[in-house]
Chain A
């Protein structure tokens, strides 16, 4: 095997090695990114405090940590089950999108009220705002910082 060919094969193998180096570097970035995502604190986005609940379901004074999507209604599949004669089985949804909260009435029979006013479809909701479903009153608050 002459010198030229030897060098040529070294180049060819170095190319393959570099290809894998690129791959390794990319993988490292991917893993770092995934780890960073996993490390991020999993505190909630906000809390919903039960101010008044005659039926006791939910119990008054209870505080729910909120998901990006939180469903409310009489059906047991809801994230927050609201036992009230005026509540529909799927009554309302609280969603956090972008930078703010929205409350959406999901075609309930008796409506969802925000700060005493019945909402149509969707309304933005700020921290400290009160919503009510039937006789149940709830207040949105900032998440506790741990």
Chain B
């Protein structure tokens, strides 16, 4: 010890300070341990790049995926090295079921329900108990509402066209078919031997076979969007079924002047100078009438009602969905429209209006279901070690009252069965059954054929199936989308009388 100790203290106190700081530092370590081992653990132990998950994927069979009739859509097979790989029932379901590949990850339901299929899904309590079990994995079999037969028929009906078909049961929200073309062979992506070659070819394909158009494709809707306008108009009280516009017949010839822009209409041959009411306008698919209705509703109200139908946000579905929109929303007019011209054009499905086929099928099913929107569902049951868990119907909200829904149904029946309507929707009628529907022809601007649309449901008095069909550049609605819808609804109703 050195001398001269005026301010020097014994070392003890500073040593205690050092001890406290280091203890605090170790406390931080314990805290960090808790953060990773407890707080972040549920997410990390399920991440597909966790070695335990990778190891399990090679040894623990994934859950199977079955359709509504018990047809196995996705199953496991042992490869030449004894490692498990997925095999799929056929090309028709690829964009729904997706793939599980050791090389390219997962897609579709294989991605959305990866945790359940691989047996890792659980609550925190089960997480804690899981590792005490001999076999810690509990892969779940998924049962879908999809009908493999109907799905195959939908794919076949679309043929070489690019497009999508969505069919659902409007009373339960169960999705019966969710077809997109072109499609691909998911088994080849799942097979390590062919994965690379097949996947790279799919990525290079200009037809974008990997894109599930039914849920992620965004299309200009054309006239099928008039049903959305009708829902907003009747729902908001802006119009009644008896509403007529006296300027409408004149505007048929010269176009409707909105803010100096002329809204024109082409097909008005038989209606002459009669001012049309709602049902007649729907049957004739009168653009002028719906443009005037759109202006009558107002941008804000219009967007609000579309929002009730599911526009403006991803749909609460089992697969990821693109967002459908009435307008780009960047404008300064109410609802985000740029001006009244855009609003008038949007009201008959042009301008900045983009929709997914699934969204349009929901529009049809809201009308069919008396104005109530049900959550669309693909997965109806999980079956694991602990038994089977059913997923029931779920009402999201009432969009319009039953009377408004009934008026729209009447208009849609006229559009299929009426003398004038028949011309636009030829082939969509289900024989012997009252059918409701609306066709659409979405002008894309520039050259090229328009998208061909049809939405509808049958039977009109007690709907069992709702449908949305879009055929990319298929021409007028009547020419291609309508007959596809008619055939598919006929097929379903024949099997489920």
Chain A residues with CB under 8 Å of chain B are: 1-2, 5, 9, 68-69, 71, 75, 77-79, 90, 92-93, 95, 97, 104, 106
Contact = CB atoms under 8 A, between A and B. Distances in A.
B7 interface: yes
10 A-B pairs with the lowest CB-CB distances in the bound complex, closest first: A77-B6, A93-B3, A106-B3, A71-B5, A90-B4, A104-B3, A5-B134, A69-B5, A106-B4, A95-B1
A97 B3 CA distance: 13
**B interface, size bucket:** 10 to 19
Contacts of B260: none
Interface string B1-45: 101111110000000000000000000000000000000000000
B133 interface: yes
Q: Which one of B5, B7, B8, B134 has the highest number of Cβ atoms from chain A below 10 Å of its Cβ?
A: B5
Contacts of B132: 1, 5, 9
Nearest to A105: B3
Contact of B7 (A77, A95, A97): A77
A3 to B, nearest CB: 11
A78 B3 contact: no
A78 B7 CA distance: 9
The listed residue with most A CB atoms (<10 A of its CB), out of B3, B7, B132, B133, is B3
Given A75-B6, A77-B7, A104-B3, 18 more contacts: A1-B133, A1-B134, A5-B133, A9-B132, A68-B1, A69-B1, A69-B5, A69-B8, A71-B4, A71-B6, A78-B6, A79-B5, A90-B3, A90-B4, A92-B3, A93-B5, A95-B3, A97-B1
B3 A71 contact: yes
A6 B270 CA distance: 83
A77 B5 CA distance: 9
A5 B131 CA distance: 11
B134 A2 contact: yes
Contacts of A1: 132-134
29 contacts: A1-B133, A1-B134, A5-B132, A5-B133, A5-B134, A9-B132, A69-B1, A69-B5, A69-B8, A71-B3, A71-B4, A71-B5, A71-B6, A75-B6, A77-B6, A77-B7, A78-B6, A79-B5, A90-B3, A90-B6, A92-B3, A93-B3, A93-B4, A93-B5, A95-B1, A95-B3, A97-B1, A104-B3, A106-B4
A123 to B, nearest CB: 13
Interface in B90-136: 132-134
A93 B3 CA distance: 6
A71 B398 CA distance: 90
Interface in B448-477: none
Nearest to B133: A1
Contacts of A93: 3-5
Contacts of B8: 69
